[in-house]
A and B are shown apart, each in its own frame.
Chain A
């Protein structure tokens, strides 16, 4: 199985503080990710704020260089690409950002974000061809071109603006779309519409999708496989049905139990974790990051970071509770799992 986009043991550290009292905060530690060439896959990345989701996106886009490890697209390191390779990468990997308000320049009509990629990548030979291309892209995701084009961003709703970004991404027929919290700023009813259009696009144009979110419910709905991040580390990865229906890592269990289910007859889980009253300690923990909150913490958890234990055919968990299972190396993790589907 060949990889289209791959992160190998990526670590990113942000420095803060002054010249002398420099503090280093790892935003991501030893994260590996694998999006295969074909068939298409939808991968969910879930984690709370501060878990490193956005850092991961920025690394995968080459906006940030990893401190350790490498990010490869079609086997080539993003940081060492030639100009032509980079242009190809920029075309084939598209991104949708979280905030549909900030990505627009308020002085330009919304057409600008659609015509720019057409011109830049020479997608059309004439103006009318370009117009046709843009109109088709808008129609695929359920926007009427006559109601959308020629307007300024402030004249459109958040949901419309976000759908234009989906249309823009699809114009270039990318191989992969990275969607960084694409629906966190829109209402529930529109959320469903946007996610459904992303799913349809992905199938129609054979594009893989990396869906980054804090919302486990939509991640479950859209993804085939899922990666759970906690404070910059992957704690659990695998087939979405296994991870959500039967979470194994204590953090994933807590996360699943915390979701308010829209059914008044289902109780909201049992409160097993203490409320964190003091600040999260910034000092580097040598062992498992979740140890201070974990109800099952053992002494070994404080000493060494747990490796991935392969607990099912399609799932790996970074937790010593499963130390009976076989250990797999981080970088071969997803290959070993073989991505179902």
Chain B
């Protein structure tokens, strides 16, 4: 059993609005073991990007961390001062952002952008030593050394995403948070970038938190998966078990609506719409759309229960079984 590297406990991230707080991430608890690949899946508006940003402490007003803990090796990131957090970012926990196209500076050479992050953490390294590290980092993400002197517009989308990955690993972080790293890329390039991410992670011994909505990508990349719905984590388990036998009705519908290449069938969507986070339904947030809804679902908020070892679910269907 590997040690738990990152523990997220009862994390709540709210956005201040004129009519009260919007609960974007509500009471989310999960943990990431050392060297593990954990997937956070959810549809748009489920709070997955907010959660990723909260772990980096990059939530900007009107958003704020309302409560809970983010423990990295036992130390609570939410308690750190801004300066202390600055040191942790990139060195301990790094983010590969969603749109690589928009996260690079268009008027800076690639090498300067890579060096920038390293210098920010330690300005004692001589420039020549920094310049030597650039080709090495580029090689790790399977880019040629000539890329160092290029500008972002000279690179393809996949190459830009690799540059972002090179920046993220420049200080050998222990946790890499990848927020939909390939959503703007083609399937062929997506697979290559994800393979590179996997290799880099293994060579660093880092853990990866992959945030995204592509269940196929999750199935192929992660070891364990957590499913977010309306800011709440509804199910956590090993990716094999969750895909084989999803427990939460939402996960069941989500997996059932994935089209397959095996056989043709009817497209099955999930009826209804995601709830408005400002005015979430009472009880279980999924109850208005749930095909297995019971009377208590609209009254009581279900809690996270471990139904069998390593499988957690938030649903009254399983609290009954237990009792």
Contact = CB atoms under 8 A, between A and B. Distances in A.
Interface of A: 48-49, 157-160, 187-196, 199, 214, 216-218, 220-222, 244-245, 254-256, 258-265, 268-269, 271, 273, 275-280
Nearest to A245: B261
Nearest to B144: A277
Interface stretch (B59-67, B251-259, B292-300, B301-309): B251-259
Interface string B248-292: 000001110111110011111110010000000000000000000
Contact of A188 (B142, B186, B192, B215): B215
A256 B146 CA distance: 31
Interface in B158-194: 158-159, 186-192, 194
Contacts of A48: 186-189
Contacts of A277: 142-144, 147, 159
Contacts, number: 130
A268 B213 contact: no
A32 B253 CA distance: 40
Interface of B: 43-44, 142-144, 146-147, 154-159, 186-192, 194-196, 213-221, 239-240, 243, 253-255, 257-261, 264-270, 273
14 contacts: A48-B189, A49-B186, A157-B273, A188-B214, A188-B258, A193-B267, A220-B259, A244-B261, A254-B188, A259-B216, A260-B214, A260-B217, A261-B216, A275-B196
In this complex, the member of B157, B218, B221, B264 whose beta carbon has the largest number of chain A beta carbons within 10 angstroms is B264
B24 to A, nearest CB: 16
A264 B215 CA distance: 10
B195 to A, nearest CB: 6
Contacts of B239: 264
A262 B187 contact: no
Contacts of B254: 188-189
Given A188-B213, A221-B265, A216 B187 contact: yes
A159 B273 CA distance: 9
Contact of A260 (B44, B191, B192, B265): B191
B260 A217 contact: yes
Contacts of A221: 259-260, 264-265, 267
Given A195-B267, A259-B216, A261-B220, A188 B195 contact: no
Given A277-B143, A278-B144, 10 more contacts: A216-B187, A220-B261, A259-B187, A260-B194, A261-B219, A262-B216, A262-B258, A262-B260, A273-B188, A277-B142
Contacts of B157: 49
Contacts of B219: 260-264
A268 to B, nearest CB: 5
Nearest to B239: A264
Contacts of B270: 189, 193
Contacts of B217: 260
A259 B267 contact: no
A102 B188 CA distance: 28
Contacts of A220: 259, 261, 264
A190 B158 CA distance: 27
A124 B59 CA distance: 52
A216 B259 CA distance: 10
Contacts of B273: 157, 159-160
A265 B244 CA distance: 10
Given A48-B188, A265-B240, A259 B261 contact: yes
